[in-house]
Amino acid sequence: MTTHRALLATALVGAVSLAALAPTPAAAETVLKVVKHSALRVLDPVVTTAYITRNHGYMIYDTLFAQNDKFEAQPQMVDTWNVSADKLTYSFTLREGLKWHDGPPVTAEDCIASVQRWAKSDSMGQMLMRFVKDIAAVDRKTFTITLTEPYGLVIDSLAKVSSNVPFMMPKRMADTPHTEQVKEQIGSGPFKFVAAEFQPGVKTVYVKNTNYIPRKEPPSWASGGKVVKVDKVEWIAISDHMTAVNALIAGEIDFVESPPHDLLPILEKAKGIKLHVHNKYGLQGMLRFNHLHPPFDNPKIREAVAYAINQVDYQKAWIGNPKYYQACPAMYVCETPYSSDAGAEGKLKGNLEKGRQLLKEAGYDGTPVVLIAPTDVSSIAAYPVVSKQALERIGMKVDMQAMDWQTLVGRRAKKEPTAQGGWNLFHTNWTAADLLNPVMNAGFNAGGKERGWFGWVDDKPLEDMRVAFAKETDPAKQRMIAVDAQKRAYEIGAYLPIGEYTQPQAYRENVTGLLDTPTTVLFWNVEKK
């Protein structure tokens, strides 16, 4: 008994000693602990289009313009702007009080260098630059963009909300070649990056930028007043979804950006946890053909597939709960400004009979379809299985090759025939904000083998429509062109949308003020009580 008591006493003394050695919490500092959809490693939002890097950009950088929840471009860093009567000269004056995180004021020269660097990487930026004659500083706060001919997407390009976002950087950073990463993390945005605490793939820390002067307007998507209400935001990378969910329920973290749909029932039942979809436009799945090689160099075979597949099958397999998915043939995503069903009549509804008939008419010779299938990305892994089944049911041979996503990313860049390591079909997902019009939607890029996106659609009429859309300054005419472009995209089978889904965010109930966005959840306006 004495021994037991001695042991117990020793254990208690040990526990108390350990507790005493624990550090005292710092003074009341509000720290928001966040688990994003992936770990941050690349810090330059111009070098990569990765969404996590874009999201990092929103923390520390600001933009000249930004979209509000009506898809309208609003001035952000810009105070006033005007366009000449001939629509060839745009003049921008920056807001008073804009400062870089290291102190100096934001100048017109900084913004010019930033726009030029961004435009070398981004598809909308590249299109814009085809029409730009000159970008010049007028004074410290004012600069102009002079065009060679009227262009309808000048402001929309500068207000682009998804990758690559035209974030403003100091000139010394923006002078870095667009293929090399910037070496500093200095922006003028509402948060400052804490370099000393950055551990790639593990943790990223941001603190409130106390010098930031928010706009007076209420926040709306990425526009309006960016009022920071917490002292610190920590992005903690948790690779295991179950662990992230457990940590949220246990109160160790405050917010999970992308809890997988199969874990949502656990979160729905958990006390103190709120689930909400902050991006109601969500994401769209994409089935992409390789237009270079048989059998999908034949438009009729692409059409056969368009009839055979069923959007609902894909989303049932991946999401399951109809609350979070919908069938929608609009290539620009349902409920967005250019949304339309044009060109999709009868397609994407699982009409196997029609698929078989078209396949027969096309003279399909049994060439196996090399379907490259990622097994490690849960949001895409189910799609190839559904496609395989649909294609086989109309009589196609399918060689589904499993691989990790990064291998697929390398493989899909191969233009060679399948016998030499090429491919015929792959799937991916896009956030709606990347698909809103025929210029930004990569699936519409019809520049062929030299200038096209993977799959290499080569179609002059579609490419002409994209340019016409970009040049058009009348919104009503722009819409007509966008609808025609979608018709054409369906006609040639540029790609097939395979349904839309939304991703709810999960967070503790003491976290309030999260804004709706078309991309990622933004952390200004957020309070933790």
**Under the rule (CB under 8 A), what is the footprint of other proteins?**
18-19, 21-23, 39, 41-43, 47-50, 53, 121, 123, 163-164, 177, 179-181, 183, 199-203, 236-240, 242-243, 246-247, 249-250, 252, 376, 403-407, 409-411, 413, 415, 428, 430, 434, 442, 445, 450-454
Q: Which of 179, 77, 68 is nearest to 118 (CA)?
A: 179
Min dist. Cβ of residue 217 to other proteins (A): 30
Strand order in the sheet with 132-137: 78-83, 89-94, 142-147, 132-137
Choose between 6 and 413: whose C-beta lies nearer to other proteins.
Answer: 413
Give 283 or 308: the residue with its C-beta nearer to other proteins: 283
Sort strands 31-35 and 232-236 into parallel, antiparallel or unpaired. Answer: parallel
Q: What's the min distance (Å) between Cβ of 204 and other proteins?
A: 11
Q: Which is nearer to other proteins, 80 or 378 (CB)?
A: 378
Nearer CB in complex with other proteins: 190/518: 518
Smallest separation (angstroms) from other proteins to the CB of 77: 24
Helix H or strand E segment including 17: helix 2-21
What torsion do the CA atoms of 181, 123, 459, 441 make, to the nearest 10 degrees?
Answer: 110
Q: How far is the CB of 18 from other proteins (least distance, A)?
A: 4
Of 220 and 441, the one with the shorter C-beta distance to other proteins is 441
Q: How far is the CB of 376 from other proteins (least distance, A)?
A: 7
Name 2's Cβ contacts closer than 8 Å, sequence gap at least 6: none
**DSSP secondary structure string, 254-302?**
SEES---GGGHHHHHHSTTEEEE-S-TT-EEEEEEE-TTSTTTTSHHHH
- In our burial notation (b when 16+ CB lie closer than 10 A, e otherwise), range 147-169 reads beeebbbbbbbbbbbbbbbbbbb
Q: Which residues pair with 458 in a beta bridge?
A: 447
Cβ at position 200, least distance to other proteins in Å: 4
Residue whose CB is less far from other proteins, 249 or 465:
249
Bridge partners (DSSP) of residue 255 are 34, 507
Residue pair 396/369 in contact by the 8 Å Cβ criterion: yes
Pairwise CA distance, residues 217 & 74, whole Å? 10
Three-state DSSP class for 449? helix
Closest approach, Cβ 178 to other proteins, in A, equals 8
In the complex, minimum distance from the CB of residue 186 to other proteins, in angstroms, rounded to a whole number:
15
39 vs 94 by CB, closer to other proteins? 39
CB of 288 to other proteins, least distance (A): 11
Task: Supply the minimum distance, in Å, between the C-beta of residue 367 and other proteins.
Answer: 23
CB 424 within 8 A of CB 415: no
Between 171 and 178, whose beta carbon lies closer to other proteins? 178
Nearer to other proteins, 209 or 431 (CB): 431
- Residue 193, both tokens: 């990056």
Query: Which CB, 247 or 287, lies closer to other proteins?
Result: 247
List the alpha helices (DSSP H) in 270-412.
Answer: 299-308, 311-318, 352-362, 378-393, 405-411
Asked if omega into 164 is within 30° of 0 (cis), the reply is yes
- For residue 43, what are its two tokens? 């810090």
- Minimum CB distance to other proteins, residue 326 (Å): 22
Q: Which is nearer to other proteins, 183 or 397 (CB)?
A: 183
Going by C-beta distance under 8 Å and a sequence separation of 6 or more, which residues neighbour residue 382? 314, 317, 318
Q: Which is nearer to other proteins, 125 or 343 (CB)?
A: 125
Shortest gap between Cβ of 105 and other proteins (angstroms)?
Answer: 28
The residues pairing with 447 across neighbouring beta strands, listed in sequence order, are: 458
Region for 103 from its dihedrals, namely left if φ exceeds 0, alpha if ψ lies in -120 to 50, beta otherwise = left
